[in-house]
Chains A and B, each alone.
Chain A
């Protein structure tokens, strides 16, 4: 069974631009979560989607948004990029997104904002 796939693997953007990251969950998994990882802040929860609906959201500005499609694939978008948005963005999937359920992570998209 294929794992969580994230594309692209690396991305370089400049301030003010916007970016879209993609995530394909493990087959059969319906919940997708997004995390931002930086050396200073660690892993910070962005949001979680289940059945195309955002079910939970972290403490990030509205520039960060996401969506989920009917096949459970998810995208996240960051508009008006800032230098501080440089980070590893990780996507994780789980079967049903229940509270006590393991998350399976992809390898992430490394975003650099210049």
Chain B
């Protein structure tokens, strides 16, 4: 099926450190990107989005960076907390639908 690629399947960080989750996409025509967080037993939860006319967008403790030149998306989480432990998905709009990456599992060590 269609999917957006991810660099790392797992990421382990120390509580309080910053986390960076990366994502590569293939369609240079994609104009909208979203990051979702999925905790065990739950559906994906919206974190932050960004349109292709932007390079950076900030939310509460999260920042998304978009590099259209190399088709790369990243999610930065500041001061990572145990509650941030989850699987994180990037997604891009392609052909009128939202295409998800494989996901990165973030594990926060106390």
Within 8 A of A (CB), among B29-47: 31-32, 34, 36, 41-46
Q: How large is the interface on B (under 10, 10 to 19, 20 to 34, 35 or more residues)?
A: 20 to 34
Contact of A59 among B1, B34, B89, B96 (CB under 8 A): B1
Residues of A37-76 contacting chain B, CB below 8 A: 41-45, 48, 55-56, 58-59
Contact B43–A100 (Cβ < 8 Å): no
- Interface of A: prevailing SS: strand
Query: How many positions in chain A have a CB within 8 Å of any CB in the partner chain?
Result: 24
Residues of B within 8 A of A25 (CB): none
Which A residues are in CB contact (< 8 Å) with B62?
A: none
Which segment, of B17-25, B78-86, B97-105, faces chain A? Answer: B97-105
B44 near A45 with CB under 8 A, answer: no
With A58-B1, A99-B32, A100-B51 as known contacts, state yes or no: A45 contacts B43, CB within 8 Å. no
